[in-house]
Structure 1
Amino acid sequence: MRALERVRHPTRRGVALTLAAVPALVLLYVLVLIPFTPGIGDIRKAKLEQPAQVISADGKLLATFKPSNREWVKLTDISPHVIDALISTEDHRFYEHHGIDWKRTASAALQTFSGDRQGGSTITQQLARNLYPDEIGRAPTLTRKIKEAITAFKIEAVYTKSEILETYLNTVPFLYNAYGIEMAARTYFDKSAHDLTVLESATLIGMLKGNSYYNPVINPDRALQRRNIVLAQMVKYQRLAPATYQTLQRRSLAIDFERQTEPPGPAPHFAQQLRKWLIGWADANDYNIYSDGLVVRTTIDSRLQTMATQALSWQGNQLQSIANSVWGTRNACAAHKDVFNAFVRETPEYRDAKQSGLADDAALKQVESDRHLMQKLCDDKTRVQAAFVAIDPRNGQIKAWVGSRDFGDDPYDHVSQARRQPGSTFKPFVYGAAFENGAKPDDTFVDQPVEITLAGGEIWKPTDDTPPSGRPVTLRDALAYSKNRITAQLMEEVGPSKVARLAYAMGVRDSRLDAVPSLALGTSPVTLKEMVSSYGTIADRGAYVAPMFATRIEDRAGNVLAEFQPARAEQTLPPIAAQTLLDVMRDVVDKGTGSAIRTRFGIRADVAGKTGTTQDDADGWFILMHPQLVAGAWVGFNDSRVTLRSDYWGQGAHSALPIVGDFFQRALRSRLVDPRAKFVEEPETSVFASLRATLDGWWTRLFGEQKKPASLKEKEGSRTPRRTTAQALAPSPAPSPAPALAEPRDGEPAQIVTPHGASMPPLLSPPGSHGAQGAASASGTAVAGAPPGSQSTSALQAGAAPGTPPTPQTSLDQWIDQRMNTPDAGASRTPASGPVAPQ
């Protein structure tokens, strides 16, 4: 009762206390909100915003990591008409207040209370919203307005008025992915912000009240009216003469519209891979790639990158003209209607037609009546794709990376994302395993029909483009001329498990290999990066070095924040076996399937390589090794049902080889790659090796056998003193039954008596993936790509590919055992997405 009485009859003291309590509560609320607004340090950082730059090994800019399509320009490089229009329209007392215009705020509040909602934000308050949309928000609430006011005061304490204007004009959003006045000027008037006229300036500033509502492209009448209001405001505040206004208000908008796209740069796929990794590194080390001015020094050589891009573009255009004629692209793929109908049945339009109740023929006819849709589908399906990557085998540094013919048309990265059957480029793993077991290049197998019974009872019959001759063929010639029957017999002797283990160890670290006999001919899909990295192991005498693409990271002042060294080399194939394999692969380019390297491109350097072609010419491969550089190319289509349908152009020797040949020809002529460099060859001098060679010679002279007895060579599971990490302690268990996949070949038909499309076990995370990539040094040096908090020093190990073994916890042998013995779970072969470690 007393409380009610006090309310009815308040005392003077009570009224005073009540009046004092209101601002006290407001002040308390403001103090509570201060910690939830950006700090002074964040505001200073935003003031100096500078995106990360990616620099090539030879000092050229490869990419700039901007948060949006924006180009920052200084205030002095912006037309003064823009500034006059902005201040006259948005904040005419800009130079008089300190973040909040109290007069305008009070007027806006009165207008809002009377039912006519008005905005009272100053330019500084708008800048606060633009810079910190998450912290402040955009909801029309009192809390948002207070946060905005607090942040505006902080900005005024850090920025000068000129800096506020410059930052505002460079961060304000316009439509069509244009941020800042410079990109807006280019988008709507095809000129720089420096050259904007009074009318153009008024048009752009008028859009700030509502970009969509006053869009001069879609709503020109509204935009014209709004522009004239801006001009009138300029007259009102004496920034435009009345006579000039009378003349200008009658003129049209004169829009010259063109969407602005961010230039992809010379190595866009490489930059995308680097961006993913750099974001993880920056998060772990408390940096922002968009504002801290990081400078990333990479391994890419811009000159080699240009050569690779030109070579791929040139060959891609040649092959595209062939594809167009084969598929009849001028008439929506009319040349192969049966295959194209399968593509049509996969479209949403066809599914909608079927769901509406139409029969198959009627649904096809309805969809095919849309000529534009059919032509686009045909063009998309028959667009030839290609990829190229070059790696220095001595240190794993990636020197060139081209992920597709055109990043704008196809941003999908065919170097590290696309998994395709490698065909005969996989055969060196078979021969390498054989040479490791003691086989010699002059050992022979009879060229005869081969039938191999698979685990499920199917019969695999590998064939060549010529009938069996019944004559002995040396391993050297079998690899040089890519003989499938000989390779299949060698695979039987070596064993699929050993070949798979060796391939994993030499560089196939991301893809799953099915340890079945047809693996010898490349039936398990892999990436181009894995294959080129593996060939780098051959070129470096059996030592695998994980690919890397960053050498160091600097701040904007040039101080080194992190430095990366090549990953620790892993001896995965004995040097003498790798040396023998390399020598045999020289014959591929000297006289075999890759001889065009010599005859067509005139390359006389010490090189070795291998071609590859898969079933129905779906994939063409070629990889060439030089002591200083290993480069490989893949050619095909995104949909493997589409091929060039040519026994000539479909072969890797004619589709992929010209890309590598043209690249190497340019690189050697420019002396970026030394044409006189030779592979290091050192004879094995151990007592065991000498004794083995002597016994081999005696046996050959006495018996003339093409195969050595078991006692004179290493069987699978036996070991020599030169044990490598790729070898198993004992013969691996037989793989779980799995049908062989389609038979790859080098231009010759193949016969597979087995179902296609065997399922694939899920990819295992190799030791080091999603953690420290590669082994950390004993001193505790952390590794690039490690999770947040794991990097204890700036001297980081070289960026290693995902899955680079070993780690202190898991050895390479253990990891391979785990991968090979994991049961098949039917996982898709499509590449995984998400951040990756340096590639």
Structure 2
Amino acid sequence: MLLYVLILIPFTPGIGDIRKAKVEQPAQVLSADGKLLATFKPSNREWVKLQDVSPHVIDALISTEDHRFYEHHGIDFKRTASAALHTFSGDRQGGSTITQQLARNLYPDEIGRAPTLTRKIKEAITAFKIEAVYTKSEILETYLNTVPFLYNAYGIEMAARTYFDKSAHDLTVIESATLIGMLKGNSYYNPVINPERALQRRNIVLAQMVKYQRLTPAAYQTLQRRPLGVDFERQTEPPGPAPHFAQQLRKWLIAWADANDYNIYSDGLIVRTTLDSRLQTMATQALVWQGNQLQTVANSVWGTRNACSAHKDVFTAFVRETPEYRAAKQSGLADDAALKQVESDHHLMQSLCDDKTRVQAAFIAIDPRDGEIKAYVGSRDFSDDQYDHVQQARRQPGSTFKPFVYGAAFENGAKPDDTFVDQPVEITLAGGEIWKPTDDTPPSGRPVTLRDALAYSKNRITAQLMEEVGPSKVARLAYSMGVRDSRLDAVPSLALGTSPVTLKEMVSAYSTIADRGAYIPPMFVTQIEDRDGNLLAQFRPARPEQTLPPEAAQTLLDVMRDVVDKGTGTAIRTRFGIRGDVAGKTGTTQDDADGWFILMHPQLVAGAWVGFNDSRVTLRSDYWGQGAHSALPIVGDFFQRALRSRLVDPRAKFVEEKQTGLFDSLRTTIGTWWGHLFGADNKAAPQKEKPRAPRRAPAVSTSAAPSAPAVPAVPNATAPAASSAEPRDVEPPQIVAPHGASVPPLLSPPAAANGAQGAQGAASANGAAAGGLSPGLASPVPNAPGGTSPSGQTSLDQWVNQHTNGAGASSGTSSGASQ
């Protein structure tokens, strides 16, 4: 037996693991301004000190579970022998001490729960080790904070809140006895489901307290007749100020911790992020406020008080998709009978209507100078909808995609004052179909400048420009500027935003415009520290990648100023009073299924999307359905708050390239020639470097961010059609990360310093929905059309060929987005 015990010792938790569990701390996520955003706990548990627990709980626990707790060293040999004798005689009894139970709670995998001799020996060995490391008070504290109490409540604090709506410090004698009584069998003695059993068990605990002189007999006679007094309420973890952001960060952090031998639930990691808690609050308030306004419109339009009676035809299609309808059909009922049966359940119909007509929205703000994400709101209410509409949902961007068409044209040498005639447009596609884009006003027959065409979101002019530039070039430019995870169909209607993309991609691409054509991958982590504040890893922005010539980007930005000065986004000026140097674009998809607006400021680029989870549901309003009236107010309200609070400088200006006159050019040329000829040391006027927007000094990185497997997000399966061919969710461009590494979900922490500074990363094969790039790495720049880079990365031309349909593919016949 002794030999068997010695053999089992290596198969039990080590002293180091036990010491680690003694100081277990979950990772804390902090904002850039030092506010707590999230705590990554493995379960719904709140750790409380032993002195903050009612003494009645401790008395009830020791009296019932281990009355010689302070006398033994992990195993009560008397109790073990007594339990063995009773078990051999047919009356099975447990002999585990509190320390042994703690061993099972802390290490269920290592010890197991099978009623075998091996398990008991492992349990005993681990109990001895715990007693060697922990004091008795620490054992009690750890036990009370780790024991489960059903309903996702772990520990005495969450149990007290769940069953009695109070803190563990305030538990009375009978409440303490009720909770300790559950330890014998949580489900069997559940005071909510089985109150009679729970009452009997509670009184047994009270009797044990009398037996071991922790309760007087007189008090027992009074207390045993009292009811349980349960005040039940399920406890849910508070979502925090940025729940969708934290949700995506958790995925990345788990991969980082695994690669660097850390545990996010116990090692006390401190993760400092780029998010600004003040801007996050403003974004959330703006989104909730506008969402509530639009919900009132949706309720009126759909007749939600009477289960969507206003649009019976569409709602009937929803009913046919329910499990109840399918069950009715499988039972043999005809279609009409099955519909009638399901529709007779008024509660089901109302619930279905409310769910389908719930307005959704999303918002993200990025600093264009370094790619830092400053605000991130994934839905109206995380409690109701945990689906992340920032980086999971792919929706048609409508006219917010048009700047890529104009950017490609300006790169080709077009000027803002170039004109196209506003006339009917018919474009013949490869399959013989005719695409006829339209506007909400008839053709005027007059020439329209490119500046006005973008400002007023003219579909016919944009379609003609697209035909001249070429869909492949536009798709290539959009990809390089930031739309790197969604498939773009290189067809004429792409000009009107018919290929579904994510809000994160679009705001990232607009940040490229704001930074004079330089793309920087979005980043969300600046550094990671241990529990003592020691730096474990520090990250910096990725190296900028020039994707659009600065002159073309500057021209595009200037033209987009007119959108808010005189075009479809004038409410930014007139309604929200924003007087800063800003530019932007509205977007509305066919049938008003999606509303978009993105606004660029030198220090912040913010975008919002508004719609419904099911794109067959719309606001059905020519006014409210437009991005200028649905999404723009979210961005406008946010910027109004941010500018007033001076978190964003209202006086900031976009840095523009100084136009050089003929005389200046001649002087520079002569000066350079003179310097070369006579060896003048920089005395002649040199060619000035083109000015750029001011950048923050990048932090020195001390550790490389690890690569992690990408977790593809659930695509939006019901994206609205803007063409006869239904847009579909597709895989992203497959681009190999350096050294064959896979990449983490969502976003990239910025580049790390140990050799990754000049490396180029990219989205992994299955990182589409996550929108992820390899942490600490810039995105790939193809070396030559149709080829691959030396690192094996797919070139941009290869991506276009592999992941677009080609210019001749069908794009449908409808007009697509209008504004």
- Whether the aligned pair in 2 keeps the contact of 1:568 and 1:774 (CA below 8 Å) is no
How far is the alpha carbon of 1:454 from its aligned partner?
A: 1.2
Describe the shift of the 1:552–1:742 C-alpha distance in structure 2 as closer, same or farther (beyond 3 A).
closer
Aligned partner of 2:123 among 129, 148, 157: 148
Aligned-residue sequence identity (percent) comes to 85
Q: Is the 8 A contact 2:734 2:794 kept in 1?
A: no
Match for 1:762 among 709, 728, 731? 731
Alignment of 1:30-179 (within 5 A): 30-179=5-154
Deviation at 1:319, TM superposition (A): 0.2
The one-letter code sitting in structure 2 at the alignment partner of 1:158 is V
Aligned positions, number: 734
1:356 matched residue in structure 2: 331
Partner of 2:316: 341
Equivalent of residue 643 in structure 2, options 662, 668, 691 = 668
1:771/1:223 CA distance change after superposition, 3 Å: closer
Q: 1:802: Cα distance to partner?
A: 10
Task: Tell me the equivalent position of 2:799.
Answer: 819
Q: Distance in 1 between matches of 2:759 and 2:40?
A: 19
Query: Which amino acid counterpart does residue 493 of structure 1 have in structure 2?
Result: E
SS at match of 1:169: helix
Counterpart Cα distance in 1 of 2:729 and 2:262:
39
- Amino acid paired to 1:817: D
Shift, 1:761, TM fit: 5.1
Contact 2:507-2:598 within 8 A present in 1 as well: yes
Q: Which amino acid aligns with 1:89?
A: T
Shift of 1:512: 0.6
* Coordinate RMSD, CA, aligned: 2.5
The whole-number CA distance in structure 1 between the counterparts of 2:628 and 2:474 is: 24
Is the contact between residue 521 and residue 743 of structure 1 (CA under 8 Å) also seen in structure 2?
no
- Alignment match, 1:241: 216
Residues 686/494 of structure 1: CA separation in 2 closer, same or farther (3 Å cut): farther
1 CA distance for matches of 2:252 and 2:758?
12
**Whose radius of gyration is greater, 1 or 2?**
1
Distance 1:339 1:813, change over 3 A: same
- CA displacement at 1:763 relative to structure 2: 2.4
Instruction: Work out whether residues 565 and 798 of structure 1, in 8 Å CA contact, stay in contact via their aligned partners in 2.
Output: no
Task: Tell me if structure 2 keeps the 8 A contact 1:427–1:487.
Answer: yes
SS at match of 1:178: coil
Counterpart residue type for residue 795 of structure 2: W
Partner residue, 1:434: 409
Query: Distance in 2 between the 1:399 and 1:784 partners?
Result: 25
Residues 509, 804 of structure 1: 8 Å contact kept:
no
Question: How far apart, CA to CA, are the structure 2 residues paired with 1:822 and 1:535?
Answer: 25
Cα distance in 1 between the residues matched to 2:124 and 2:375:
50
Q: Give 1:27 deviation, angstroms.
A: 1.8
Could you tell me which of 212, 220, 229 is aligned with 2:195?
A: 220
CA–CA separation in structure 2 for the residues paired with 1:270 and 1:260: 22
Change (3 A) 1:761 1:70: closer
Alignment of 1:697-708 (within 5 A): none
The answer to whether the 8 A contact 1:771-1:785 is kept is no
How far is the alpha carbon of 1:147 from its aligned partner?
1.1
What secondary structure is seen at the aligned counterpart in 1 of 2:179? helix
1:501 aligns with 2:476: yes
Amino acid at match of 1:757: E
* Structure 1 residue 818: Cα displacement: 2.8
Tell me, yes or no, if the aligned pair for 1:404 and 1:412 is still in contact at 8 Å: yes
Contact 1:518 1:743 in 2 (8 A): no
- Structure 1, unpaired ranges of 5+: 1-25, 692-721, 723-740, 745-751, 788-796, 826-839
Deviation (angstroms), 1:653: 0.1
Residue 816 of structure 1 and its aligned partner are, at CA, apart by 2.2
Aligned to 1:304: 279
With over 3 angstroms needed to count, the CA separation of the structure-2 counterparts of 1:182 and 1:782, relative to structure 1, is farther
User: For 2:528 and 2:750, how far apart are their aligned partners in 1?
Assistant: 21
CA shift for structure 1 position 554:
0.5
Per the TM alignment, residue 358 of structure 1 is displaced from its structure 2 partner at its CA by 0.7
Distance 1:240 1:271 in 2: 47
Superposition deviation, residue 252 in structure 1: 0.7
Letter in 2 for 1:184: A
CA deviations on 1:111-151 (whole Å, 9 max, x unpaired) are 11111111111000100111111111111111111111111
Give the corresponding residue for 2:245: 270
After superposition, where does 1:651-730 map in structure 2 within 5 Å? 651-683=626-658
Q: 1:770-809 residue pairs with structure 2 within 5 A? A: 770-771=742-743, 780-781=755-756, 800=775, 804-806=779-781
What is the SS of the residue equivalent to 1:638? coil
1:561 lines up with 2:536 in the alignment:
yes
Quote the residue 2:423 is aligned against: 448
Q: In structure 2, which of residues 493, 498, 511 is the aligned counterpart of residue 518 of structure 1?
A: 493
Please tell me whether the aligned partners of residues 384 and 635 of structure 1 are also in contact (alpha carbons under 8 angstroms).
yes
- The whole-number CA distance in structure 2 between the counterparts of 1:278 and 1:596 is 40
From 535, 542, 545, the counterpart of 2:517? 542
Q: CA 1:487/1:613 → structure 2, altered by over 3 Å: closer, same or farther?
A: same
Match of 1:283 in 2: 258
2:18, 2:130 within 8 Å by CA — same for their partners in 1? Answer: yes
Q: Which moved more, 1:760-769 or 1:491-500?
A: 760-769
| 1:20 aligned partner | none
2:598 maps to which of 606, 623, 628: 623
Whole-angstrom CA distance in 1 between matches of 2:802 and 2:760: 26
Q: Which amino acid aligns with 1:770?
A: S
Q: 1:293 to 1:363 in 2, by over 3 A?
A: same
Tell me if the contact between 1:770 and 1:786 (Cα under 8 Å) persists in the aligned partners: no
CA deviation map 1:739-792 (0-9, x unaligned): xx9775xxxxxxx5xx321556532333437249699779524899999xxxxx
SS at match of 2:795: helix
Look up the SS of the partner of 2:37 in the other structure: strand
SS in 1 for 2:391: coil
Give the match for residue 714 of structure 1: none
- 2:712 matched to which residue of 1? none
After TM superposition, the score normalised by the length of structure 2 is 0.86
1:419-450 CA distance string (max 9 Å, x none): 00000000000000000000000000000000
Letter in 2 for 1:816: L
Distance 2:516 2:761 in 1: 29
Q: String of CA shifts for 1:657-704, please: whole Å, max 9, x gaps.
A: 0000000000000000000000000136599x989xxxxxxxxxxxxx
Q: Which residue of 1 aligns with 2:373?
A: 398
Equivalent residues of 1:430, 1:491 under 8 A apart: yes
CA contact (8 A) 2:399 2:497 kept: yes
Of 536, 540, 545, the match for 1:570: 545
CA contact (8 A) 1:81 1:201 kept: yes
Q: CA deviation at 1:89?
A: 0.1
Is the Cα contact below 8 Å between 2:487 and 2:803 reproduced in 1?
no
1:230 corresponds to 2:199: no
2:597 aligned counterpart, secondary structure: strand
**Aligned with residue 228 of structure 2, among 253, 264, 273:** 253
What is the distance in 1 between the residues matched to 2:339 and 2:207?
59
Contact 1:612–1:622 (Cα < 8 Å) also in 2:
yes
Is the contact made by 1:774 and 1:805 (CA closer than 8 Å) also made in structure 2? Answer: no
Q: 1:805: Cα distance to partner?
A: 2.8
Alpha-carbon displacement from aligned partner over 1:549-570 (angstroms, at most 9, x marks no partner): 0100011111110001001110
- Residue matched to 2:812: none
User: Is the 8 Å Cα contact of residues 45 and 153 (structure 2) preserved in structure 1?
Assistant: yes
8 Å Cα contact 2:735-2:793 kept in structure 1? no
